[in-house]
Amino acid sequence: MKRLFSILAITGMMVFGTANATTIASTTTTTTVATITQDDTAAAPAETLGFHQELKKRFIEGGPGFMGIVLLCLILGLAIAIERIIFLNLSTTNTKKLTQEVEDALASGGVEAAKEVCRNTKGPVASIYYQGLDRTDEGLEAAEKAVVAYGGVQMGQLEKNVSWISLFIALAPMLGFMGTVIGMIQAFDKIEAAGDMQPSLVAGGIKVALLTTVFGLVVAIILQIFYNYIIAKIDSIVNNMEDASITLMDLLIRHKK
């Protein structure tokens, strides 16, 4: 019942306020309307800021300490992510085309011709093919071991520095939350020093706290998108490497026969 009465009271106040506003608006003179219009026109440019200006303003309001560290996490994380994306795109190989070329080279020129094809092709799949072909003289078992061992090396190259991105993803919101806690402590310190609860005393500290949290979460979201793309790209290349390794062993078995 209390909640129902509260809702009815709020609704009545809104209706009453709307009715009063309508009555006052109908009795306002044309000169007043023109003055209000001029004031609104003059105040409009001050209220509208561009995205970059608003971002810069909020960054400065958040304080250079924690906001600078969060920005550093974003810069370093993006640098590593872009480097990994470029490396992974360069490491992507048309496995079917390479396999066909190696098979044709084995049929026409033997192992040395197939090794030359792999030597002229970039990517981890070509490197694995080369290592397997280079051990064919020692037997198929030695070639298989070389393929497996070098596949692990190539996988380590693909995953290089990816853990740093996950570190920055975890670190950015933690720094933002730390800024939140510090901002709240500063707000309560001001209340304690003043001995009075005034909104103007705590508004600044709470604003800093919220801004650091928001920026930390935004940085984490951006880096998480890049991280997931990199992981998906690595998984795709690793799957191609495994399929190519099996195909290579089949080619070597047929070539020996």
Question: Region 215-235: what's the mean pLDDT?
Answer: 93
Question: Region 217-239: what's the mean pLDDT?
Answer: 93
Tens of pLDDT, residues 125-147 = 888 888 888 888 787 788 888 88
pLDDT for the residue 219: 92
pLDDT for the residue 57: 65
Query: In the chain, what percentage of residues exceed pLDDT 90?
Result: 16
pLDDT range class, residue 20, cuts 50, 70, 90: very low
pLDDT for the residue 131: 87
pLDDT range class, residue 86, cuts 50, 70, 90: very high
Higher pLDDT, 62 or 167: 167
pLDDT for the residue 205: 64
User: Can you spell out the DSSP letters for 50-66?
Assistant: -HHHHHHHHHHHH-HHH
Higher pLDDT, 2 or 217: 217
pLDDT for the residue 36: 34
Inter-CA distances, 58 with 6, 77, 122, 166, 205, Å: 37, 21, 46, 26, 13
Question: Region 160-168: what's the mean pLDDT?
Answer: 92
Please report how the helices 51-62 and 64-91 are oriented relative to each other, as an axis angle in degrees rounded to 10. Answer: 130
Mean pLDDT estimate for the chain: 74
In contact, 71 and 172? CB cutoff 8 Å:
no
Question: Global pTM?
Answer: 0.70
pLDDT for the residue 111: 82
